Chain A
Amino acid sequence: MSMDITEFYQTFFEEAEELLNEMEHLLLDIDIDEPDSEQLNAIFRAAHSIKGGAGTFGFTVLQETTHIFENLLDRARHNELTLDREIIDIFLETKDMLTDQLNAYRNQEEPDPEAFERICNTLKRIAEERVEGGAPKVAAPKPAAQPAAGADAAARVLTLTLTKIEEDEKDTLTEELALFGAIKHSEFSEGTLTVSIETQEPVDDIEAVLCFVLDAGQISIKETSGAEASEPVQSAPAPVAEQPSASAAQPAAKKPEDDKKATAKPAAPKKPAKAGNGSDASLRVSTEKVDQIINLVGELVITQSMLEQTTQGLDPVAYGQLLNGMTQLQRNARDLQEAVMSVRMMPMDYVFNRFPRLVRDLAGKLGKEIELVTVGKSTELDKGLIERIIDPLTHLVRNCLDHGIELPDKREAAGKHRVGKLTLSAQHQGGNILIEVSDDGAGLNREKILSKAQSSGIQISDTMSDEDVWQLIFAPGFSTADEITDVSGRGVGMDVVKRNIQQMGGHVDILSQAGKGSTTRIVLPLTLAILDGMSVKVGDEVFILPLGAIMESIQVKTEEINKVAGQDQVIYVRGEYLPLVELHKVFNVPSAQTDVTQGIVMIVQSEGRHCALLVDQLIGQHQVVVKNLETNYRKVPGISAATIMGDGSVALILDVPALQRISRDRRGESSRSSATVH
């Protein structure tokens, strides 16, 4: 029975693509100074699996590229190749190239031979120049190189029984298996290939590679005696995922993907303690599922209010039961919506409340007097983000305590209060959440950072702007602490902070003034944050104004309106002249109130600036779910996002900072964009 191998192409393409993505994540994730051997192993495995599959399907170019790549990765994971940014760049480039090749094969084309040659040469060059010792992969250095890996370091003998194998496949399979380790014994009879192999590879990986070629049902892997491992077999288990999958292999484990997913997530072991605590009380669900539920419930509530409107005119006597049901439905739908919403949203308090203790302990240890102030505790943030912001924030707080705030005597000498002040604040701003960690300490030392950067081999120039200089402290391995304390100073921090925040789609800025203190500002997008908003009407259109931005709403009198340069208007409110932004002009709303004295003026603030917005009327206060407008459309100036109102219609959420910018630009003022948030 000759099978059409092309049927499996699609599976291979999908799996390979997944592996490549995983590889990219891992590569981008890897800490070049302290590469995690688990991560390196995972990258190697991915390359190896792709190579295996590519070989099977005759994608020679892909196979050769991955082969060279794999060799290099193998050296890297055995500490024979020291990673640096350049190498990671090249690895990433290789990954891109592999993606291109994969796409070419998918479109039934041959990959670009020039690109292939170029990448091969680059990889070979690295192999020649960078590899220490240059020894090809030998089993000998392995135990020394991977003491930490522990789990999969123990070599043991696996017996693989592969059934329904064609005569001509035998050699290829044996050859392929030889890549995992030393083949002790190999036997082929009546379509069954039995191979004993001494290997350190997890069973999952071997299976994953074989699954490109064979059905899961054809593979059976048994662990026999640990020939060289001193420990007994049972006590040397490979990663957690292995045992179930190894035993599940025989009873037709139809889904090799599942196993692969288990191996594809080596990030998990980092937080075993956290997961362990609440494992029985909580459940981890993908945010995608929660989002879907939120959307569906939103729809349900809208449908419910539609039904309610329809039934309103009915005779209560004749339709008593139906109307009762409707009332109950309404209550249930609302409760359900609230419950579902609350799944995702958590107040920043969840993060902030862990700091008082930390600050107290650290301050004591360091001999400093510190007062912690938190602002905006009730600002709600997506649960996914809140969990990921804890570590970076903890780091920043430690930094402030250690480097930022001076010792009490020093503070007094500088004419400051003995007690240093550390402020944590959170607020919604436009389509973002803004989290600030600020101290009133010494501020960053420009000279020190520059000289330190120079000695670490970072390119600098004396004319760099302060902002650029501050960004230097995010470089990996950077620390200006004079001595390493157990609080901070090892320089493995700020780069991680920055990377974590960038992964969340946000960014970090530092503002610092010598002697006055410094502020680290984290801006995160609101993927799905609930916003407290005020709905306002302009003409026939409804907009949502973030409540956090609103200072007050007033009605102005003619004498409070002043003209500047004949056309622009400013409003005089309690000793302050505020620029007037007429929303109907910005958004070209027809039939809106143009007479400032007849409309309502909202005084709003953002980025420390105040301005006045002219609207027709206020409608009411709502909690709204922020929906990204860019998913299906594009960015709209002056609008941060959209939301769905109770009646099912879409309302746009105003982006206050952007509106201020728009109005500034309109005034022709060359806006000096002060650390533009976006």
Chain B
Amino acid sequence: MTDQQHDVEGNEFLIFRIGEEEYGIDILKVQEIRGYDGVTRIANAPEFIKGVTNLRGVIVPILDLRIKFAVGEAQYNQQTVVIVLNIGHRVVGVVVDGVSDVLTLSPEQIKDSPDFGTALSSEFIMGLGSIEDRMLILMDIEKMMSSTEMALVDEVAA
């Protein structure tokens, strides 16, 4: 807990899978990991917003990154995993295919990402991490969740 810098240096990442791809997010943004159940649909929301759920008395929106990134199959069963993120003052749950591990990446292991311009806009990618043969897509989850694209915040609101 010594480094307070916000850059990528020696940070710990939570690694999760969506389809065949592996993604990493700053572990400090993760509040908990839980199963997917009891989600109430919200009308007229984008398709990837599955709805809201009750997390110990707090109403938390749940979104499915598999639908957002158009990868993997959006199936919901006992194995479906929700990563609960604590971003700013908001709590948001994201559905992924599975959580694999927690890795510490040194700056040398992180490469700049090329421009994609696909479902995952490159502005939300901090870099690509490589460990052995694996390629990890490191996401700036905070930036992504606060963007208007995710439709989590009112457009007028900050």
Residues of A within 8 A of B (CB): 294-296, 298-299, 541, 586-589, 627-639, 642, 644, 647-652
Contact of A644 among B54, B61, B151 (CB under 8 A): B54
Cross-chain contact B153 with A634 (CB below 8 angstroms): yes
Contacts of B41 in A (CB 8 A): 541
A588 engages B44 (CB within 8 Å)? yes
Contact across chains for B38 and A587 when beta carbons are under 8 A apart: no
Chain A: which residue is nearest B57 at the CB level?
A295
CB distance from B107 to the nearest CB of A (A): 21
**Distance to closest chain B CB from A274 (angstroms):** 32
Q: Judge whether B92 and A632 touch: CB under 8 Å.
A: yes
Instruction: Knowing A588-B43, A649-B54, A652-B42 are in contact, say whether A635-B59 is a contact too (CB < 8 A).
Output: no
Contacts of A647 in B (CB 8 A): 38
Q: How many interface residues does B have (CB within 8 Å)? A: 26
Interchain Cβ contacts within 8 Å, total number: 77
CB distance from B142 to the nearest CB of A (A): 14
Q: Are A650 and B54 in contact (CB under 8 A)?
A: yes
CB distance from B38 to the nearest CB of A (A): 5
Please state if A642 and B154 are interface contacts (CB–CB under 8 Å). Answer: no
Inter-chain contact B59/A642, CB cutoff 8 Å? yes
Q: Which among A299, A587, A588, A638 is the interface contact of B57 at CB below 8 angstroms?
A: A299
Residue of A nearest to B60 (CB): A632
Given A587-B44, A649-B40: A632 and B57 interface contact (C-beta under 8 Å): no
- Give every chain B residue within 8 A of A642 (Cβ-Cβ): 40, 52, 59
Supplied contacts A632-B58, A636-B44, A639-B43, 10 more A-B pairs, CB within 8 Å: A295-B57, A299-B57, A541-B41, A633-B59, A638-B43, A644-B54, A644-B59, A650-B38, A651-B40, A652-B42
Interface residue B157 (Cβ < 8 Å from any Cβ of A): yes
Contact of B53 with A by CB under 8 A: yes
Question: Chain A's nearest CB lies how many Å from the CB of B3?
Answer: 15
CB-CB under 8 A from B157, the residues of chain A are: 634
Neighbouring B residues of A628 by C-beta, 8 Å = 59
List chain A residues, Cβ under 8 A from B154: 630, 634-635
Which residues of chain B come closer than 8 Å to A294, judged between CB atoms?
57
Residue B91 at the chain A interface, CB threshold 8 Å: yes
- Which one of B39, B40, B51, B57 has the greatest number of beta carbons of chain A within 10 Å? B57
Shortest Cβ gap from A10 to chain B (Å): 10
Chain B interfacial positions (CB closer than 8 Å to A): 38-45, 51-54, 56-61, 90-92, 151-154, 157
In the complex, the answer to whether A648 meets B43 with C-beta atoms within 8 Å is: no
User: Cβ of A636: which chain B residues have Cβ within 8 Å of it?
Assistant: 42-45
Decide if the interface of chain A is mainly helix, strand, loop or mixed.
loop
Q: Contacts A541-B40, A589-B43, A651-B40 known; A634 to B152 CB distance under 8 Å?
A: yes
CB-CB under 8 A from A299, the residues of chain B are 56-57
CB distance from B97 to the nearest CB of A (A): 23
| Residue in contact with A649 in the complex, picked from B38, B56, B58, CB distance below 8 Å | B38
Contacts A295-B57, A632-B58, A632-B60 known; A652 to B40 CB distance under 8 Å? yes
Q: List 15 A-B contacts (CB under 8 A).
A: A296-B56, A298-B57, A588-B43, A632-B60, A633-B61, A634-B151, A634-B153, A634-B157, A636-B42, A636-B44, A639-B43, A648-B54, A649-B40, A650-B40, A651-B40
Q: In whole angstroms, what is the CA distance A239 to B5 when docked? A: 43
Residues of B within 8 A of A586 (CB): 43
The 10 closest A-B pairs by CB, nearest first: A295-B57, A587-B43, A650-B40, A633-B61, A634-B154, A649-B38, A644-B54, A642-B59, A632-B90, A298-B57
B residues less than 8 Å from A638 (CB atoms) = 43
A667: min CB distance to chain B, Å: 18
Q: How far is the CB of B64 from chain A (nearest CB, A)?
A: 15
A628 and B59 alpha carbons, distance in the complex (Å): 8
A588 cross-chain contacts in B, Cβ below 8 A: 43-44
Return A127 CB to nearest CB of chain B, in Å. Answer: 34
- By a CB distance below 8 angstroms, the chain B residues around A541 are 40-41
Q: Which residue of B lies closest to A636 (CB)?
A: B42
Report the minimal beta-carbon distance from A2 to chain B, rounded to whole angstroms: 21
Chain B: minimal CB distance from A144 (Å): 47
Contacts of B151 in A (CB 8 A): 634
A residues within 8 A CB of B152? 633-634
Closest to B151 in A: A634
Most buried by B among A589, A635, A648: A648
B-chain residues with CB within 8 Å of residue A587 when the two chains form the complex: 43-44
When distances are taken between beta carbons in the complex, the residues of chain A under 8 Å from B43 are 586-589, 636, 638-639
Q: Are A629 and B58 in contact (CB under 8 A)?
A: no
Q: How far is the CA of A639 from the CA of B44 in the complex (A)?
A: 11
- When C-beta atoms are compared, the residue in chain B nearest to A584 turns out to be B43
Q: How far is the CB of B82 from chain A (nearest CB, A)?
A: 14
Pairwise interchain contact A632-B40, C-beta atoms closer than 8 A: no
Determine the chain A residues whose CB is within 8 A of the CB of B56 once the complex forms.
295-296, 299
Asked whether, in the complex, the Cβ of B59 is within 8 Å of the Cβ of A627, the reply is yes
Q: Which residues of A contact B60 (CB under 8 A)?
A: 632
